[in-house]
Chains A and B, each alone.
Chain A
């Protein structure tokens, strides 16, 4: 792992699909993984992503396509916050929830895995990927958001600030701290 200072990631050039269905197809997997990292619960992450897509379609499908991405992540962040608040309330009343998906009996779970044909890739990739996901999940909430939106999604600092509801300076600070923490946590996997 290189030791250079963690500057903000260069914005990626993303060509937005001009239709809302195409756009959702490009963000649904990433949005789901981000929600799963943030919430640690697969079913909650699916609910959050579905609700985010619904709100985007119902409220903002008529907006210019270049506005969809920051809006999607802003709504996603707010839905994640809602779930966290609900959990706090539930914890006050002693409601217990399993950290894994509750619908283990769902026949959809029996579908063949598309990545299942390459076991070596799975083992090598999953080990690093799991370490990265674990390290991400351990970051404080705001660092987690800054890292996921800047590095993973490739949003600009301005769009990240809009999605996080904070200043560009705060985004840079959270991002710097996130990179520093991830370097320490992942040095065995990315030496």
Chain B
């Protein structure tokens, strides 16, 4: 870590201690609400990854069964899609689904 990085990190940590009391109060309230919220049922926790896997399997199935429907232009269009964040986040949701499935057996 360079001197600059150390100084910037220190300045940022100082900012954390300059937060107004009102903000700190709201953060404490948010934490309390998160900790006291009811836990989701096991069924609902299993449904999300299951639905994700189903959607992915359907998409893959369509891609495999109907390869002729996609011409080069469509493929190029999808790669340069309007919302690259969606594709970037896809691996995260898959990772979450895999993690949850691993936990629940």
Contacts and interface: CB of A to CB of B under 8 A. Distances in A.
Interface size class of B (residues with CB under 8 A): 35 or more
Interface string B76-93: 000000010100110110
Contact of B5 (A85, A151, A186): A151
A174 to B, nearest CB: 13
A108 interface: yes
A29 B27 contact: yes
Contact of B3 (A2, A109, A122): A2
A46 interface: yes
A122 B18 contact: yes
A111 interface: yes
B34 A57 contact: yes
Contact of B8 (A21, A33, A49, A151): A151
Interface in B20-50: 20-28, 30-31, 33-35, 37, 39-40, 45
If over half of B's interface residues share one DSSP class (helix, strand or loop), that class is named, otherwise mixed; here it is helix
Interface residues of A, number: 57
A81 B85 CA distance: 8
A24 B22 contact: no
Given A33-B15, A125-B14, A24 B9 contact: no
B2 A7 contact: yes
A68 interface: no
The 8 closest A-B pairs by CB, nearest first: A50-B30, A53-B34, A111-B21, A29-B16, A54-B34, A108-B22, A109-B22, A10-B1
Interface of B: 1-5, 7-9, 11-28, 30-31, 33-35, 37, 39-40, 45, 83, 85, 88-89, 91-92, 100, 103
